[in-house]
Amino acid sequence: MADYNNPLARGRAGTVTDVVDAGLRAYMLRVYNYMLVALVLTGLTAYAFYGLSVTDDPSQAAAHLRNGVMLTNLGVTLFESPLRWLVILAPLGLVFYISARIQHMSMAAAQASFWIFSALIGVSMSTIFMVYASASIA
C-alpha cells in the first residue's frame, strides 16, 4: 500500500519506500515499548501504594472504611485528607504543564515527565484495588 502511485518504487526491491517503512516500523515499535513500560509502571505504582495504604492488622489501622477496608496512616493521608485532591488532580496538572512546555523541553525532560505522569496515574488509580477484587482487575 505504501508503494501505491509512487513511480520511484514500482517494481524495484530495496527502494526508498522500503527504507522509510523499516524506519517507521522501528520508530513505532520503540513508541509501543515505551507505552508498555509506562503501563507496567502505572500498575506497579498503583499496587504498591495500595499495599502501603491498606492493612489487615487492626492494631495498625488508622481508619476503617465502610466496606471493611482498614487504612494505614499513609492511606488516611492519601485518601481521607485534603491531600486526596492533590492525588486526584496532579496528573491533570502535569498534562497541562507538559502540553504547554513540550515544544521547549529536551528529550530527557519530556521522557522524565512521561515517567512521572505514569507514576502519578498509578498513585491516583490505587483506590481501584480498594473497590474491586484482584481477579476483576486482572
Tell me the per-residue pLDDT of 53-107, one tens digit each, with 9 for 90 and over. Answer: 888 877 777 877 777 778 888 888 888 889 999 999 999 999 999 999 999 999 9
- Whether the full predicted model's pTM is greater than 0.75, yes or no, is yes
Count of alpha carbons within 13 Å of 129, Cβ hemisphere only? Answer: 22
For residue 38, the one-letter residue type is: A
* Spatial distance between the Cα atoms of 89 and 22, rounded to a whole number of angstroms: 40
- Residue for grid cell 518504487: 9
